[in-house]
Amino acid sequence: MTDDLDTNAKDRLVAATRGALSAVPFVGGLLGELVAEVIPGQRQQRIVSYLRLLEERIAAMESGEAKAALESPEKIDLIERGGYQAARATSAERIARIVEVVSRGLQTDEAEIIRRKRLIGLLGEIDEDEAAILAAFGHSYGVSNPGAFEGIPRPGPPVLSAGPEVFEQNKLYDLGVEHLLRLGLLERRYSHVKKGELPDFDPKTGGFKGMLQVSFLGRMLLREMGIELRV
């Protein structure tokens, strides 16, 4: 239930954030409607952070390229999509990744931007833990890199002596990996078998045993996020 006090407080918050947005030179009222819809104020501040970072990237572009980007309906749509994702971001790093994807998209030609917007859509499909897992697979692709997963809080092995919380933690971790597989950002690579034979069955996954690795699409998204890969 809300009353006039709640409504007035909300209106003041929206007005203050719109004022902050108007201070970003290239934006003006571009995301005014987005700001009006996004509450609480913490999320509005994330949009401001996103736009300020993006403004720095656009300012570094050639003037003609920047002008063309801000006159293109498709590229403005890309900026707005990034703004919606920034509003839901929970860390400054995530906002920076969103800015990276958007700014790279702004530098593509008009024919390609429609398709490249699918990358910002994919980024919006994964949470920060899944993004970290994907990056770890990316850093270990094609090379021996035991430290790639050091920053990932992976649960301990679900052995019989482990408590139920360990099994729950493993299941939640596996959900993230399975989501990356469904999106095509990870893939399974199966070992070669003799003609007429099948790979070993994996009772854990209900499919054939195979090694997980980052897919071409996954590597493409990581590069678009500004994450450098060795291969």
95 and 142 belong to one structural domain: no
| Number of domain units in the chain | 2
- The last residue of one of the domains, among 125, 160, 190, is 125
Look at residue 14 in the predicted model and tell me its pLDDT: 46
Cα first-last separation, the chain? 55
Examine residue 231 and state whether it is found in any structural domain, yes or no: no
Whether pTM > 0.85 for this model: the answer is no
pLDDT at 213: 92
- In angstroms, rounded to a whole number, what is the distance separating the alpha carbons of residues 142 and 187? 14
- 165's CB contacts (< 8 A; 6+ apart) are none
Tell me: do 92 and 156 sit in the same domain. Answer: no
Owning domain of residue 77: 4-125
Q: Is residue 229 part of a domain?
A: no
Residues 68 and 156 in one domain: no
pLDDT means over runs of 10, the chain (231 residues): 42 46 49 52 76 84 80 85 87 93 88 87 94 92 78 76 80 92 91 66 64 92 89 60
Question: Are 203 and 143 contained in the same domain?
Answer: yes
Q: Which of the listed residues 73, 94, 125 is the one where a domain comes to its end?
A: 125
Dihedrals phi, psi of 207, to nearest 5 degrees = -135, -160
Does 147 share its domain with 119? no
**70/121 same-domain check:** yes
**Distance of alpha carbon 195 from alpha carbon 131, whole angstroms:** 38
Q: Which residues pair with 187 in a beta bridge?
A: 213
In this structure, is residue 74 part of a structural domain? yes
Last residue of a domain, one of 70, 96, 125: 125
pLDDT of 100-152, one tens digit each? 999 998 888 877 888 888 999 999 999 999 999 999 999 988 777 777 888 88
157: which DSSP letter? P
- What whole-number distance in Å separates Cα of residue 85 and Cα of residue 14? 18
Q: Clarify whether residues 88 and 190 are in a common domain.
A: no
Query: Domain for residue 230, yes or no?
Result: no
The Cα 210–Cα 187 span in angstroms is: 9
Q: Closest Cα to residue 210, out of 199, 218, 219?
A: 199
CA separation, residue 188 to residues 126, 138, 212 (Å): 19, 14, 5
* Under 8 Å between Cβ of 55 and 25: yes
Residues 22 and 115 in one domain: yes
Q: How far apart are CA 198 and CA 200, in angstroms?
A: 6
Q: How far apart are CA 74 and CA 154, in angstroms?
A: 40
* 116/209 same-domain check: no
Is residue 61 assigned to a domain? Answer: yes
Q: Are residues 132 and 162 in the same domain?
A: yes
- Do 96 and 171 reside in the same domain of the chain? no
Residue 31 CA, distance from chain mean position: 20
CATH number, domain of 167, equals 1.10.10
